[in-house]
Amino acid sequence: MAPRPQAPLYCHQCGRRLPLGDVRFCVYCGVGVQPTIAPATEVVPRKDRTPWGYADMAKAIGVVVGGTILVGAPAAVVAVLIAGDTDLGSDETAMAVLLGANALLEVFLLVAVALFAVRKYKLSWATIGLRLPSRGSWWLPLVLWGGALLLIWIYFAALAVLGTEPEGNIPDEVFDSVPLVVLLAVLSLALAPLMEETFFRGFLFGGLRGRWGFFLAALGSGFLFALAHVDPLVFIPFTAVGMLFAWGYMYSGSILAGVIAHFLFNLTSFIIGLLGVAD
């Protein structure tokens, strides 16, 4: 008589089906599990859908937008008052206020994910993509970084042909001040890669992919990523860069490659800014 097949097991945290056998940790979200057998009548969540849904993502976006209004708007007013008749970019104190406010807004991204995913559903950060990649190696961040630079350069070349030259949202005068350079480094190199990849790729793209499919989820989260940079001239390339980093997450099962690529991308811009001052 053939042995009776083992009933399917599901992780109590993320709802995904687990491999057969003695399973102690979920291979998808990384948490220690007490696998439960799903009754035949029980509706098991689709394995590609996250516990957080549309309402959670909308609330998280609301927290970020609300934080931008509560922190960004007053900071802008204070910066203008400090600068007075001086050009805003030329006033070191005014720029320090703006950079500090932007650093705080980056933290809001992580707080939103913590509130509406990790804490609410008692998940580990591995569920958001902060885990070792299952595919890809040292080359994947380099491919994402190179692809992002290529997309930006092609777009800027097209704008140049049309007679348009976009200006950076960081004034050149920032690189003349050592304190502002340090603040900018903390914002763009230490905070932005981790916070933005966690929110836009791990949380938003991860939440939408199981509901919209890869392309629409990457497009939607990529557009919101571009929108957050508040520069209409970079909406198209930054949306494309966001989609590229979303592919990196889907391919590797981890946002770490995107975090490294994001860091390298920002580091490239940072070095170009420094070299511009040196010239």
Q: What are the tens digits of pLDDT across the range 146-188?
A: 999 999 999 999 998 988 877 777 888 899 999 999 999 999 9
Percent of the chain having pLDDT more than 70?
82
Q: What is the CA radius of gyration of the chain?
A: 22
Angle between helices 92-113 and 54-67 (to 10 degrees): 160
Separation of first and last alpha carbons in the chain: 82
Q: Which tens digits make up the pLDDT trace of 183-218? A: 999 999 999 999 999 999 999 999 999 999 999 999
Burial class of residue 78 in the structure, from the number of CB atoms within 10 Å of its CB (0-12 exposed, 13-18 middle, 19+ buried): middle
**Domain locations in the chain as residue ranges:** 1-47, 54-278
Model confidence, pTM: 0.83
Query: Which residues contact residue 32 at a Cβ distance below 8 angstroms, ignoring those fewer than 6 apart?
Result: 24, 25, 26
Q: What angle do CA 207, 254, 132 make, to 5 degrees?
A: 140
